[in-house]
A and B are shown apart, each in its own frame.
Chain A
Amino acid sequence: SAVISQKPSRDICQRGTSLTIQCQVDSQVTMMFWYRQQPGQSLTLIATANQGSEATYESGFVIDKFPISRPNLTFSTLTVSNMSPEDSSIYLCSVGRGLAGETYNEQFFGPGTRLTVL
């Protein structure tokens, strides 16, 4: 299994500012995912972050708005840029696969970052 932590756990931000969310895993993983959960809604995949390559974004999400870093096999960041109230959501990271030869067969989720934009 994998234990995931996220920072910050919550934040209240002003319109037009940016927030960087950190995701730390207790083991090396190949694939990390970033999801958004808008109030009362399901989870929507923002992007897939693989170490050593550019993140792959889903339809409706762009790198300029949600830049992602993946500097090593245990860490990733998601930045929410030029925020507006519509960005108020819970942002979650998850991991899906370990290194070659180690498969989880499930995704483990971090506790989430609750973002409120005023």
Chain B
Amino acid sequence: GNSVTQMEGPVTLSEEAFLTINCTYTATGYPSLFWYVQYPGEGLQLLLKATKADDKGSNKGFEATYRKETTSFHLEKGSVQVSDSAVYFCALEDSGAGSYQLTFGKGTKLSVIP
């Protein structure tokens, strides 16, 4: 079956530090990959996505590249801000079976301190 493994948290960084949150996946087909973000007290929001190998998703200074050879989709940001403090979820959607269900990783809590 499909699965997503992401870096355990929590992660605490100083403002302007470099961020990497690792994500690897297992899928039977050719999935689309996503990063969702959940800010404190809010719902889930799509941060970025990539639908095929070598695609790079980017948004709000965050980037992630779909690496089929390493089955990875690591999230990076060059300079984090306090406002980036949130829980980040890596997810995949394997539409090959026609189900369009999302499989989520366990989430990584990021705290950015001034």
11 contacts between A and B (CB under 8 A): A33-B101, A42-B107, A43-B44, A43-B89, A44-B104, A48-B99, A106-B49, A107-B100, A109-B36, A109-B45, A112-B43
Binding site for B on A (CB under 8 A): 31, 33, 41-45, 48, 92, 94, 96-97, 105-112
Q: How far is the CB of A116 from chain B (nearest CB, A)?
A: 15
Q: Are A96 and B44 within 8 A (Cβ)?
A: no
CB-CB under 8 A from B93, the residues of chain A are 96, 107
From B51, B100, B104, contact of A43 by CB (8 A)? B104
Q: Does more than half of chain B's interface fall in helix, strand or loop, or is it mixed?
A: strand
The answer to the question of B34 belonging to the interface, with a C-beta cut-off of 8 Å to chain A, is yes
A109 CA / B102 CA spacing, docked (Å): 12
Instruction: State whether the Cβ of B113 lies closer than 8 Å to any Cβ in chain A.
Output: no
13 further A-B pairs in the complex, CB-CB below 8 A; given A42-B107, A43-B104, A105-B51: A33-B101, A41-B106, A42-B89, A42-B106, A43-B44, A43-B102, A94-B102, A105-B32, A105-B49, A106-B34, A108-B46, A109-B43, A112-B44
> Which residues from chain B contact A97 at a C-beta distance below 8 Å?
100
Q: Which of B99, B102, B105 has the most CB of A within 10 A?
A: B102
User: How far, in Å, is A24 (CB) from chain B's closest CB?
Assistant: 14
- A35 to chain B minimum Cβ distance, whole angstroms, is 8
Collect the chain B residues with CB atoms within 8 Å of residue A41's CB. 106-107
